[in-house]
């Protein structure tokens, strides 16, 4: 891990901690009562019926909470989810996060050819372009890190993963709302960690990673 990245990880760790302290204690049973409006797109158990809607079953609670916040403030720009998050209180978000994180994410399948390359990048990164291994933050099996609010990736739909990596690469998805940044590719420190990482991925890398991730099970 190079120095810049290490500094960002440190900064991000602190930022995530601030989020964690502000997060109310979630009640999964209360969340079940609030989840019916989510079911049409994410499934009642968080395993979405369509690959453009992310699975949120088994996703870590802090990450779900943070994303709902980001949609509500508009830091993460998606018209469907901004509308859904607008009426939610902090307690609603924590309850929904507790409910969906208790479920189990369903597994998917990978394309064997793509997955080979995807696995290399995921576990080893790419020294030539200074790409850190995904496993360093998202876990060796893509299970995520619930303490740091790094999302679980394993089993996620390839279509969704691909769309997010492309959005990060275009600096279209802001991934750290605690630091004010200008989206300027010439100023790498003003980009979020996933924006910097995605900037180093080719279209082929993204296809390979998305397929590999869809096939990860744990
Ligand atoms: C009309 C469809 C729709 C409904 C209803 C809906 N969502 Fe979503 N949700 C989406 C889409 C589409 C995305 C992906 C947004 C993007 O691409 O940035 C998403 C993303 C999310 C994410 C981020 C997942 C990730 O991996 O980053 C969370 C968390 C989430 N939704 C929770 C909820 C909750 C909780 C509800 C109910 C209160 C809900 N959604 C209702 C369509 C919907
Ligand atoms: C330095 C730590 C770090 C590394 C290394 C890293 N990520 Fe991430 N990743 C994050 C964080 C933090 C987020 C959540 C951003 C946010 O809060 O919106 C994230 C989010 C994502 C998401 C969005 C998940 C979702 O549910 O919407 C995808 C996809 C992703 N990363 C893929 C990758 C891939 C593929 C690699 C390797 C090429 C990688 N990441 C390397 C920290 C990292």
Across the 218 residues of the chain, what is the mean pLDDT of every consecutive 10-residue run? Answer: 49 46 90 97 97 97 95 87 96 98 94 97 96 97 94 97 92 57 48 86 98 94
Separation of alpha carbons 90 and 88, rounded Å: 7
Paired with 145 in beta bridges are 150
pTM of the prediction? Answer: 0.90
- Report the chain's terminal Cα–Cα distance, integer Å: 26
Phi, psi at 26, each rounded to 5°:
-85, 150
The residues lining ligand 2, judged by C-beta closer than 6 Å to any ligand atom, are 9, 12, 54, 66, 121, 132, 134, 136-138, 150-151, 153, 161, 164-165, 175, 193-194, 197, 209
Specify the pLDDT at position 183: 45
Q: What angle do CA 22, 28, 29 make, to 5 degrees?
A: 135
Specify the ligand 1 atom closest to the Cα of 151: 26
For 135, the enclosing helix (H) or strand (E) is helix 135-138
Specify the pLDDT at position 77: 83
DSSP structure class, residue 55: P
Separation of alpha carbons 217 and 108, rounded Å: 8
Specify the ligand 2 atom closest to the Cα of 149: 12
Written as six digits, the tokens of 114 are: 């793509």
Specify the pLDDT at position 75: 80
Q: State the burial class of residue 94 (Cβ atoms within 10 Å of its Cβ: 0-12, 13-18, 19+).
A: buried
Phi, psi at 50, each rounded to 5°:
-130, 145
**Domains, the chain:** 18-101 (1.10.760.10), 112-215 (1.10.760.10)
Pocket test for ligand 2, best of 63, 70, 151 (most atoms within 8 A of CB): 151
């Amino acid at each position: 891990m190079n120095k810049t990245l290490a500094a960002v990880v440190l900064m991000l760790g602190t930022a995530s901690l601030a989020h964690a302290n502000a997060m109310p204690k979630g009640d999964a049973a209360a969340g079940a009562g609030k989840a019916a409006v989510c079911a049409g797109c994410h499934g009642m158990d968080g395993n979405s019926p369509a690959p453009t809607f992310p699975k949120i079953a088994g996703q870590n609670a802090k990450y779900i909470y943070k994303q709902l916040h980001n949609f509500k403030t508009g830091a993460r720009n998606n018209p469907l989810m901004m509308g859904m998050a607008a009426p939610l209180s902090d307690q609603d978000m924590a309850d929904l996060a507790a409910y969906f994180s208790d479920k189990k994410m369903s597994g998917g399948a990978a394309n064997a050819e793509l997955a080979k390359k995807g696995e290399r990048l995921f576990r080893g990164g790419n020294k030539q372009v200074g790409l850190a291994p995904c496993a360093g933050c998202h876990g060796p099996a893509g299970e995520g890190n619930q303490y740091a609010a790094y999302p679980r990736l394993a089993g996620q739909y390839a279509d969704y993963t691909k769309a997010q990596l492309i959005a990060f690469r275009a600096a279209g998805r802001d991934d750290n709302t605690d630091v004010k940044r200008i989206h300027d590719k010439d100023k790498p420190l003003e980009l979020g960690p996933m924006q910097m990482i995605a900037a180093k991925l080719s279209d082929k890398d993204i296809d390979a990673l998305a397929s590999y991730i869809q096939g990860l099970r744990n």
